């Protein structure tokens, strides 16, 4: 059978969905000798031994059977304790559902709230992994561009709320934002909450970077929908172990949702993954209960590296950006760059540094590049110098 007829016999959504530009850059540069990869969103440290030990102890004990669809009770209890510590009020394990990474929390949320031709509003530039899965299931991402004005990213609430139609099921907000490093204020979150309540649509929050927040001294997390909403209202929050505790390869996350949705969420999990491995969840309990020192060290490193990257980029006259207030990315505009994908591949070839192309983050993203700075500091410094030298001697496409 020809390749063409094979491809013509799968759904148009799965055939025609564009590849993520982040994956494209990584595949292109992955095996280049000496490359400094800053394309994906992860640090350079492996998971702390203590968390790994809890997982290997579980395996050694024979915890190798089918497990709870919504996560083991011990992990859901630990999630409730963690939230109680960070939000200063009581949380119930009944609102937490363990998923295969933050990505499956997102997938579960959108499978539950958006059907064919339903719309979900997403401020853009945004991480491509909301729009992609929505399109794959026949729903419609409605990307509303933010403005980059006077060196700052601004969310225009009139424009955002004007995008709500009778087909809209949810408004998706990622704060702190990948790729922008922009963080919503409490007032922003209240405005979104009030409009979503008024229009009867879901708030779908992605707060996976909430601990990577460069606010005032003493603040240990970004403003959250949990500060302004009731957990039993139309609120779904995606989160993950990947970022705070250096566990990207574990693929464990969680969805926080009204308890009434429990059976619906369990069904979606049953028909997708049938649950997350128990031994992995044991490692996650250790991370929640004993991982604060590690999170604090990661945050200190991210802040120092952000300052380093900002200092170097500020010296490059063609480069514009807003200093990030959260997450661990620089998203910078290069004057005159029209094709971020070609430029990204050229920088891999000519400077041996790996960025992600801004175009992959949707409307408003072209003309920019994204880099992850939660890396080894000396490698980051080397990457910034290589890029600076490249930009002095080359024209971007
Ligand atoms: C904004 C955002 N949400 C969710 C995720 C998903 O994380 P995970 O690796 O746990 O699937 C990522 C990962 O990069 C992300 O950047």
pLDDT at 218 over 80: no
pLDDT digits (tens, 9 = 90+) for 91-131: 999 999 999 999 999 999 999 999 999 999 999 999 999 99
Distance from the alpha carbon of residue 248 to the mean position of ligand 1, in angstroms: 9
Could you tell me the domains of the chain?
3-47+293-391 (3.90.1150.10), 65-290 (3.40.640.10)
What radius of gyration do the chain's Cα atoms show? 21
Residue nearest to atom 4 of ligand 1 (CA): 102
**If you take atom 16 of ligand 1, which residue's CA is the nearest one?**
178
How many whole angstroms from 389 Cα to the centroid of ligand 1?
31
Q: From the alpha carbon of 174, which atom of ligand 1 is closest?
A: 1
Which atom of ligand 1 is nearest the CA belonging to 242?
10
Nearest Cα neighbor of 36 from 395, 376, 357, 307 is: 376
Q: Name the residue of 39, 128, 183, 208 whose CB sits within 8 Å of the most ligand 1 atoms, as the mutation to test its pocket.
A: 208
Q: Which of 38, 242, 253 to mutate to test the pocket of ligand 1 (most atoms within 8 A of CB)?
A: 242
What's this model's pTM, rounded to 2 decimal places?
0.96
Residue 140: band (very low, low, confident or very high) from pLDDT cuts 50, 70, 90: very high
Mutate to test the pocket of ligand 1, among 123, 243, 245, 361 (most ligand atoms within 8 A of CB): 243
Q: DSSP letter for 31, please.
A: T
Tokens matching residue 332: 């910078």
CB 390 within 8 A of CB 344: no
Supply the pLDDT for residue 344. 97
Segment 146-185, tens digit of pLDDT: 999 888 999 999 999 999 999 999 999 999 999 999 999 9
- pLDDT band at 220; cut points 50, 70, 90: confident
Tokens of 262: 């429990």
How many A from CA of 14 to the centre of ligand 1?
21
Residue 1 has pLDDT above 80, yes or no: no
- Dump pLDDT digits (tens) for 305-356: 999 999 999 999 999 999 999 999 999 999 999 999 999 999 999 999 999 9
Q: How far is CA 339 from CA 179, 371, 397, in A?
A: 17, 16, 5
| Total length of the chain | 397
Give the C-alpha separation, 387 to 391, whole Å.
6
What share of the chain in percent tops pLDDT 70?
Answer: 100
Which pLDDT score is estimated for 246?
98
């Amino acid at each position: 059978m020809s390749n063409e007829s094979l491809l013509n016999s799968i759904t148009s959504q799965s055939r025609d969905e564009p590849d993520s530009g982040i994956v494209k850059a990584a595949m292109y540069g992955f095996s280049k000798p000496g490359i400094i990869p800053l394309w994906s969103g992860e640090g350079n440290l492996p998971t702390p031994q203590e968390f790994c030990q809890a997982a290997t102890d579980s395996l050694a004990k024979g915890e190798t059977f089918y497990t709870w669809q919504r996560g083991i009770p011990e992990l859901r209890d630990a999630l409730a304790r963690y939230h109680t510590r960070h939000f200063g009020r009581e949380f119930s394990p009944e609102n937490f559902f363990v998923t295969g990474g933050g990505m499956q929390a997102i997938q579960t949320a959108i499978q539950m709230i958006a059907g064919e031709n339903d719309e979900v509003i997403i401020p853009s530039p945004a991480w491509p992994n909301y729009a992609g899965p929505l399109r794959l299931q026949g729903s419609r991402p409605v990307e509303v561009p933010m403005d980059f004005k006077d060196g700052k990213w601004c969310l225009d609430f009139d424009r955002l709320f004007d995008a709500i139609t009778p087909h809209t099921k949810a408004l998706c907000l990622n704060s702190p934002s990948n790729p922008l490093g922009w963080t919503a204020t409490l007032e922003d979150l209240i405005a979104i909450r009030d409009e979503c309540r008024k229009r009867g649509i879901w708030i779908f929050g992605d707060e996976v970077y909430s601990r990577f927040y460069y606010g005032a001294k003493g603040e240990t997390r970004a403003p959250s929908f949990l500060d302004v909403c009731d957990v039993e209202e139309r609120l779904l929050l995606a989160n993950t172990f990947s970022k705070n505790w250096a566990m990207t390869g574990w693929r464990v996350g969680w969805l926080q949702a009204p308890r009434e949705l429990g059976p619906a969420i369990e069904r979606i999990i049953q028909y997708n993954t049938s649950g997350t491995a128990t031994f992995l969840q044991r490692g996650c309990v250790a991370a929640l209960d004993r991982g604060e020192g590690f999170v604090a060290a990661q945050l200190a490193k991210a802040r120092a590296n952000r300052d380093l990257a900002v200092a170097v980029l500020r010296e490059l006259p063609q480069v514009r950006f807003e200093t990030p207030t959260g997450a661990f990315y620089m998203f910078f505009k290069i004057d005159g760059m029209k094709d971020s994908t070609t430029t990204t591949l050229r920088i891999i070839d000519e400077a041996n540094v790996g960025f992600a192309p801004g175009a992959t983050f949707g409307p408003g993203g072209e003309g920019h590049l994204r880099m992850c700075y939660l890396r080894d500091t000396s490698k980051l410094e080397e990457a910034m110098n290589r890029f600076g030298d490249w930009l002095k001697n080359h024209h971007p496409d």
